[in-house]
Homo-oligomer: A and B are copies of this chain.
Amino acid sequence: MTGGRVTRRAVSSTDVARLAGVSQSAVSRTFSAAGGVSAPTRARVLEAAAALGYRPNRIPAIMQSGRSHMVGVVVGGLDNPFYAAVLDHFAVALRALGLQVLLVRVDDALALDGALEQLAGYRVDAAVTALAVGSRAAAEALSALRVPTVCFNSRLTGPWISTVRSNNRAAGRQAAALLAARGVRAAGWLAGPRESAAARERGRGFAEGVAARGLAPPVAIAGDDSHAGGYDAMRRLLRARQPPEGLFCGNDLMACGAIDALRDAGLSVPGDVLVIGYDNIPQAGWRAYDLTSFDQQVERMAGAALEMLTAALADPSNAAMGRTRAVAARLVERGSTGAAAGDAGSDDAGGDDAGGGDAGATGDDAGADRAGKARRAQEVGDRPA
């Protein structure tokens, strides 16, 4: 006998077998779906199991099959309703598939590969992350783990990394088009933290759109993706100069903060300043903000991610990974850009075209912008370059 000191040993199938006077295999078969067990045996096993409070242990099966039925999910701070929504969707969908969620909450994209390395130790079957892969080095580190991973808004892919992308850049252009159509001549850009590639793309598209209309480059101010960050950034701007006539924000949290700062300063939204956000978090639809925003369509992005995930799970040869799929962000116009209340922006999109995806390639965003209900049809429909 070796085995170190036993800590809190749980009831095992062997214990049940002993009590029931049957073999351990019989117990196993009783609790597995395809059980070839006679009724009497089954009854005796169940009785013994109940008496002992036996619960089948799923851990050994992981060891043998190499499949844990656990999926790692990596998200940023859940005080951001966007991340919370992403996680919520995955948690529900994965549970419906009979998969467990092993959650890792990280502070920023830099911690991503560390988090996944940790998950790899638990032999998760796959991983999803709401954070983009930051660097090529990180992508290689991830690929070394040989865990099929699906990212949101990552430009980098690899043999084990797929990505679901939103058309951030095109959305930025569309935001510029909308503001210009509303008569805005001086635009502002409330940027997110520099690490976020997605936010950078939005700002880039916005700058392009602004330039395309012959307007001055947007004033750029920096926030940190939080409400407080947006509030503070706007306060700083207002102290230094006049506000822009139209503001595009890297996300909705900052947009709400900016709106609060503007109103605190006695300005009106949309009377004095038009504001557009990104993410379409629930709060954007609340009357007090009524914020025009881009809906990333979390359900569809999550759905696309899940499809790639399940494909990877079903096919160990991993042919399904290394792909990119695009889901178009949908403009939802609300009062903060002067739309009448109770309006929705674009509607059913054709979007969701599966990009054939190759690695790297800074390529542009796919997905056509739509003018939606063509409410006031000024050219909101700015085709992708």
Chain B residues near A78: list those with CB within 8 A. Answer: 78, 84-85, 87-88, 91
Contact pick for A65, options B7, B103, B257, CB 8 Å: B7
Instruction: Using CB atoms, name the residue of chain B closest to A369.
Output: B288
Residues of B within 8 A of A9 (CB): 66
Whether the pair B259, A316 counts as a contact (CB closer than 8 A) is no
- Give the residue name and chain of the B residue nearest to A260 (CB): B287
Q: Which residue of B lies closest to A55 (CB)?
A: B120
Q: A55-B120, A88-B77, A105-B91 are in contact. Are A10 and B146 (CB under 8 A)?
A: yes
A110 and B119 CA atoms in complex are apart in Å by: 30
Task: Tell me if A102 and B100 are in contact (CB < 8 A).
Answer: yes
Q: Which of A51-75 contact B (CB under 8 A)?
A: 53, 55-60, 62-68, 70, 73
Query: A82-119: contact bitstring with B at CB < 8 Å (1 yes, 0 no)?
Result: 00110110011001000011111100000000000110
Q: Indicate if A121 sits at the interface (CB-CB under 8 A).
A: yes
Q: Contacts of A260 on B, CB cut-off 8 Å?
A: 286-288
User: Is the CB–CB distance between B105 and A104 below 8 Å?
Assistant: no
Which residues in B have their C-beta under 8 angstroms from that of A227? Answer: 282, 286
Interface size on A, residues (CB 8 A): 64
Beyond A57-B63, A79-B282, A263-B288: 13 further Cβ-contacts under 8 Å? A10-B146, A55-B145, A59-B63, A70-B122, A79-B84, A81-B84, A91-B105, A92-B105, A95-B105, A101-B103, A256-B288, A260-B288, A263-B370
A144 on the B face (CB < 8 A): yes
Task: Find chain B residues with CB under 8 A from A57 CB.
Answer: 63, 121, 123
Flag if B259 contacts A288 (CB, 8 Å).
Answer: yes
Interface of A, secondary structure class, is mixed
**Chain A to chain B contacts (Cβ below 8 Å), 25 pairs:** A3-B64, A53-B146, A56-B121, A59-B63, A59-B68, A59-B122, A70-B122, A78-B84, A78-B88, A78-B91, A79-B88, A81-B84, A91-B105, A92-B105, A95-B105, A100-B118, A101-B102, A101-B104, A101-B105, A227-B286, A257-B286, A263-B287, A264-B287, A283-B283, A288-B288
Contact (Cβ within 8 A) B81 A79: yes
How many copies of the chain does the oligomer comprise?
2
Chain B residues whose CB sits within 8 angstroms of the CB of A6 once the complex forms:
66
List the 9 shortest-distance A-B pairs measured between CB atoms, nearest first. Answer: A288-B288, A91-B105, A260-B287, A78-B88, A8-B316, A84-B84, A101-B103, A78-B84, A58-B121
Interface string of A206-225 (1 = CB under 8 A from B): 00000000000000000000
| Residues on the B chain within 8 Å of A58, using CB | 121-123
A66 contacts B316, C-beta separation under 8 Å:
no
Q: How far is the CA of A221 from the CA of B288 in the complex (A)?
A: 22
Closest to A266 in B: B371
Residue in B60, B84, B146, B289 whose CB lies within 8 Å of A63? B60
CB-nearest residue of chain B relative to A261? B287
